[in-house]
Amino acid sequence: MNDVAELRYNGKTYKLPVIAGSEGEKAIDISRLRAESGMITMDYGFANTGSCTSNITFMDGEKGVLRYCGIPVEQLAEKATFKETAYLLINGHLPNRRQLTDFSVLLNDHSLVHEDMKIFYQNFPRASHPMGILSAMVNALRSFYPALHESEEEINITVTRLLAKVRTMAAMSYKISLGHTVVYPRPDLAYCENFLNMMFDSPVRPYQLKPEVIKALRVFWILHADHEQNCSTAAVRVVGSSRANLYAAISAGIAALWGPLHGGANQAVIEMLTQIQKNNGDFKSAIGRAKDRNDPFRLMGFGHRVYKTYDPRAKIMKKVCDDLLGALSIQDPLLDLAVELEEAALKDPYFIDHNLYPNVDFYSGIVLRAIGIPTNMFTVMFAIGRLPGWIAQWKESMDDPNWKISRPRQVYIGETLHDFVPIDDRE
Ligand code: CMC
C-alpha cells in the first residue's frame, strides 16, 4: 500500500501521498491540496518545500554529505577533472575515453567568443561588477547564437557552447577591465589551464602554469559544480519553467548567485576579514555583532540552509588552501585571521546552538587570492564552477514528466474591496 499522510482540518481528513527518495528522504505531496480543501501551504523561503525530484545531487545536511550522481564529492575532488565532473552532472554518468575526447573537442571548438561581443565589454562602465556584466553577456549570447533547442544535438551544442564560452567571457572581461589585449583560448591546454592562461598570460610577462595552482582551481570548481535546489539553481529552473531559452535561465542563475547571502559570500568574506584586519584583528567584535539581533551583520562564510554540521566542501577547501599557500610559500595574514575567527566562533554558544559552521565560501576567497584572482571576480569563479550544475538541472527540468510552469501562490493580506477615490477628493 502506498504511504499516505493525513491532514485533519474543520472535521475533514485529507489524505496526502508520501513520496520517498532513493536515500530515504520523504516528502508529502500536496499537489491536490488546494483542489480538495481550498487551502495552500505557507513556507517562507521554501525552507521545507520540494519543487522537484532529481537524479543529480544528494545532500545530507545533518551528516555533511554531498554526492554528485551518487559519487562522493571527496572522491571527485581527489580523482576527477572538472571536465569529467561537468560531464557526469549533465549526462548522469562519468564519460568513457571516447566520450571525454568528443566532449573536449566540442569544448575546444566552441571556446571562442564572437568578436562583436568585445564591443559590449568595452562599453560597460569600468566600475561595473563582473557578475552584472556576465549575467548580461550570457543573456546576449542568445542573440549571437539564436538556434532553438529542438533536437538533442542542438541542445548539446548550446550546452557545450555555454560551458566553453562562459570561461572565455569571464577571462575576457578581466583583461578588458585592465585595458589589456584579450588572450584567446588554446587548443593544447586543458579546461582549467586554459582559463588561467587567458586570465594571466600577457605579451610582456608570459604566464607560468603551476601544477599546485591548476589543482586548486580544479578542486575549487568541482566543489562548486552543483548543490541541488539552492537559490541560483531554483532561479534557473523557475525561469526555464516558462520555457525561456537556456541562456536567459543561466543569466538569471548568475544574477541570483551574485547576492552576498549566496555566491557573493566569497567576496564578502574577504571584505569582512580585511575590515577585521583594519580593526587591528579584532575578530571578537565581529562575533559580537553577528550575535546581536539588532545588528544586520552576519558572519560571512558561516551558516547554511541545509548543512547543520561542517560543510563537507569547506573541509576540502581548507586543505586546498593550506596546500596551495604552502606550495607557493604565501603568508596570507587573512588566513591566520580566518583560522582564529573560525576557532572562536565554533566555541561560542550562539554558533553552537544555531548549528553555524564554516561553509564553502569561508576559505575559498583565500584560495582565489593566492591564485591571483581579483576580489570582484570571486563570484564569477563560483559561477563558472556552478554552470554544469545549472545546465544539468535545467536539462532535467525540461525532460520532467511532472513539469509545470513555476507559479507559487500567496495569502493576500492587503486592503479589502473599496472604491476608487477621484484625486480631488483625496486627503
Ligand atoms: N552569522 C550570524 N548568525 C547567523 C548566520 C551567520 N552567518 N547565519 C544564520 N544565522 C542565524 C540567524 O540570525 C538565525 O538566528 P535566529 O534563529 O536566532 O533568528 C538562525 O541563524 C537561522 O538563520 P536563517 O537566516 O533563518 O537561516 P537560512 O537557512 O535562511 O540562511 C544563510 C542561510 C546561508 C543565508 C545564512 O546562514 C547566512 O546569511 N550566512 C552568511 C552568508 C553566507 O556565508 N552565505 C553562503 C552560503 S554557502 C554558499 C552557497 O551555496 O550559497
42 and 126 assigned to the same domain: no
265 CA → ligand 1 middle, Å: 11
Residue 148 has pLDDT above 70, yes or no: no
99 and 181 assigned to the same domain: yes
301 CA → ligand 1 middle, Å: 9
In a domain, 372, yes or no: yes
274 and 168 assigned to the same domain: yes
Per the structure, the count of domains in the chain is 2
In a domain, 68, yes or no: no
CATH of residue 8's domain is: 2.20.28.60
In a domain, 399, yes or no: no
The model's pLDDT over 1-36, given as tens digits with 9 standing for 90+, comes to 579 999 999 999 999 999 999 999 999 999 999 999
Q: How far is CA 118 from CA 65, 136, 144, 323, in A?
A: 42, 13, 12, 37
Q: How far is CA 105 from CA 157, 185, 240, 398, in A?
A: 12, 13, 28, 26
Ligand 1: residues with CB < 6 A are 45, 227, 230, 261-263, 265, 290, 298-305, 354, 356, 359-361
> For residues 250 and 147, what is the distance between their CA atoms, to the nearest angstrom?
16
> For residues 411 and 421, what is the distance between their CA atoms, to the nearest angstrom?
26
Catalytic residue among 201, 262, 304, 311: 304
> For residues 384 and 166, what is the distance between their CA atoms, to the nearest angstrom?
7
The model's pLDDT over 231-282, given as tens digits with 9 standing for 90+, comes to 999 999 999 999 999 999 999 999 999 999 999 999 999 999 999 999 999 9
Pocket probe for ligand 1: among 66, 297, 302, 307, the residue whose CB has the most ligand atoms within 8 Å is: 302
In which region does residue 81 sit, left (phi positive, over 0), alpha (psi from -120 to 50) or beta (all else)? beta
Residue 299 has pLDDT above 90, yes or no: yes
Q: What is the mean pLDDT of residues 168-187?
A: 92
92-96, 106-110, 178-182, 331-335: least confidently modelled range: 178-182
Nearest CA to ligand 1 atom 51: 262
The model's pLDDT over 112-138, given as tens digits with 9 standing for 90+, comes to 999 999 889 889 988 889 999 999 999
In a domain, 409, yes or no: no
199 and 248 assigned to the same domain: yes
In a domain, 66, yes or no: no
157 and 232 assigned to the same domain: yes
243 and 155 assigned to the same domain: yes
CB 94 within 8 A of CB 87: yes
- Residue ranges in 145-230 assigned as alpha helix (H): 152-178, 191-200, 211-224
40 and 86 assigned to the same domain: no
199 and 271 assigned to the same domain: yes
25 and 162 assigned to the same domain: no
142 and 41 assigned to the same domain: no
Residue 147 has pLDDT above 80, yes or no: no
In which region does residue 148 sit, left (phi positive, over 0), alpha (psi from -120 to 50) or beta (all else)? beta
Nearest CA to ligand 1 atom 40: 303
Pocket probe for ligand 1: among 59, 254, 304, the residue whose CB has the most ligand atoms within 8 Å is: 304
- pLDDT confidence of residue 287: 96
In a domain, 169, yes or no: yes
Enclosing domain of residue 259: 81-394
- pLDDT confidence of residue 149: 66
Report angle CA 203, 200, 116 to the nearest 5 degrees.
80
271 CA → ligand 1 middle, Å: 18
264 and 296 assigned to the same domain: yes
DSSP-assigned letters across all residues of 239-263: HHHTT--HHHHHHHHHHHHTSTTTT
56 and 92 assigned to the same domain: no
Nearest CA to ligand 1 atom 46: 262
Percent with pLDDT over 90 in the chain = 93
In a domain, 419, yes or no: no
CATH of residue 135's domain is: 1.10.580.10
As a whole number, the mean pLDDT across the chain is 95
Residue 78 has pLDDT above 90, yes or no: yes
Question: Could you tell me which residues are beta bridge partners of residue 42?
Answer: none
- pLDDT confidence of residue 226: 98
361 is annotated as an active-site residue? yes
Pocket probe for ligand 1: among 48, 316, 354, 364, the residue whose CB has the most ligand atoms within 8 Å is: 354
